[in-house]
Amino acid sequence: MEIPALLVVLAIMAVAGYLHTVSGFGLGMIVMGAAGGMGMASVPVLAAVISLVTLVNSAVALPGKWRGLGKGRVLALGLGIVPSIALGVWLLEWLDREWQQLMTLLLGVLVLYGGLSIALKPRPRSRTSPSWTFAMSGVLTGLCGGLFGVPGPPVIYHCYRQPLSLDTIRRLLILCFALTSGMRTLFVGIQGGLTADVWSLALWAMPVVGVATWLGRRYPPPCSADTMRRVAMLTLVGLGISIIVGVAFG
């Protein structure tokens, strides 16, 4: 990657990392939507880098916080995620080789959906959903994660509908993201997809996202969490629409 393109991608990752820290949403989608949509780096490379960064962040946040997640929920999510990640990785390789416009269009749709999902405020159910619904959520999450390294929207919406504490939901989502990113990295590695381009960009991205995360915690913006959610939502919606329009009229 040329130096100017690398600096732009790292700047996007810094902004995405900061927004993710202060709003709780958007790191992977903003990076994929901005850098991938503008063609600053290939979608497969960005997806692999996002998975590595997410895996490292999850590994730091999760240890010692397993209690109360529910073995049945975790098992159901895992059973849905693992096979669909393999399908998603295969689809990405095929689309990148044969149907790049369709791949970009799907990316735009996912980013747009991710932005709209932030605006939704799911009403918690009176009882926990059955395990098969977690498995289905895992299938959709694994497919999104396998395709673009972005496992977010399906499982986030489903988990926030459960009558669980916010801390339990947060830990369950971190575990889900860790499982998705870990399995995706494993599949991509087996196929030889962890190339020098992936590792070099990942090694630059990790400290940049780390510093952005620290800044977000140390110097949050002087506005409410709801305002930051709206900023994240509008950013993702704008990126998604721009990608879709670019494909339609490009």
pLDDT band, very low/low/confident/very high, at 198 (cuts 50, 70, 90): very high
Q: What is the pLDDT of residue 5?
A: 87
Residue type, 244: I
Over the stretch 92-120, which tens digit does the pLDDT of each residue have? 889 888 888 888 888 888 888 888 877 77
pLDDT at 38 over 70: yes
Domain ranges of the chain: 3-249
The pLDDT assigned to 203 comes to 92
Q: How confident is the model at residue 63 (pLDDT cuts 50, 70, 90)?
A: low
The per-residue DSSP string of 24-63 comes to: S--HHHHHIIIIITTTSS-HHHHHHHHHHHHHHHHHHH-T
Q: How far is CA 42 from CA 33, 39, 97, 110, 185, in A?
A: 12, 6, 12, 17, 16
Burial class (CB in 10 A: 0-12, 13-18, 19+), 65: middle
d(CA 89, CA 146): 5
Which of 160, 173, 155, 208 has the alpha carbon at shortest distance from 49? Answer: 208
- In the structure, what pLDDT confidence band is assigned to residue 199 with cuts at 50, 70 and 90? very high
Most confident residue range from 136-140, 211-215, 216-220, 244-248 = 136-140
Model confidence pLDDT, tens digit, residues 114-153? 888 777 776 778 888 888 999 999 998 889 888 888 877 7
Sign of the dihedral defined by the CA atoms of residues 21, 27, 31, 37, in that order:
negative
What pLDDT sits at residue 60? 67
pLDDT-derived band of residue 84, with 50, 70 and 90 as boundaries?
Answer: very high
Instruction: Give percent above pLDDT 70 in the chain.
Output: 93
